[in-house]
Structure 1
Amino acid sequence: MNDQGLDTMVAGVRCRDVLADLSEYLDGALNAPRVAQLQGHVAECSHCARFGGHIARTLTALRRAMPAETRDQGPAILARIAALPR
């Protein structure tokens, strides 16, 4: 999907907003009204449904492969990545 396609409005939500909230959605971190909005969008948008499915499968596989003792260290890992020289 090109950048222009990200502005597509489906079920009252733009594709770019679905993608921005996708990680939180998959983590179960969104409130019920927002979940309903995103699910309504994905139900009608084949691009977001396809992309979201790929991301969900990837995250699920990564989580399964990650040792249990490191699963809750996401924020610390992200901080270390952000501190790497560019």
Structure 2
Amino acid sequence: MNDHGLDTIVAGVCCRDVLADLSDFLDGALGAPRVAELQGHLAACSNCARFGGHIARTLTALRRAMPEETRDQGPAVLARIRAGR
């Protein structure tokens, strides 16, 4: 999807906003109203649905590959990555 496509509005939601919230959506970290908005968009936007599906499958595979004892350490790992360590 090119940058112009990210400005497309489907079901009242811009593709760019869907992509910004996709990780939280997949993690179940959004409230019900926002989830409903994103689900409506994803149901009608094949580009975002396809990309979201790829991301969901990737995250699922990564989570399955991660040893169970380290699964809750995600925020700490992310902080180290952002800090360049």
Q: With structure 2 as the length reference, what TM-score do the two structures score?
A: 0.97
Indicate whether 1:11 and 2:11 are aligned: yes
Q: With structure 1 as the length reference, what TM-score do the two structures score?
A: 0.95
Q: Which amino acid aligns with 1:54?
A: H
Runs of 4+ with >6 A deviation: none
Query: How far apart are residue 30 of structure 1 and its match?
Result: 0.4
Provide the C-alpha distance between the structure 1 equivalents of 2:6 and 2:36, rounded to a whole number of angstroms: 19
Provide the C-alpha distance between the structure 1 equivalents of 2:72 and 2:16, rounded to a whole number of angstroms: 27
Q: CA RMSD in A?
A: 0.9
Q: Which one has the bigger helix percentage?
A: 2
| SS at structure 1 position matched to 2:72 | coil
Identity %: 82
Indicate whether 1:53 and 2:53 are aligned: yes
Query: How far apart are residue 83 of structure 1 and its match?
Result: 1.2
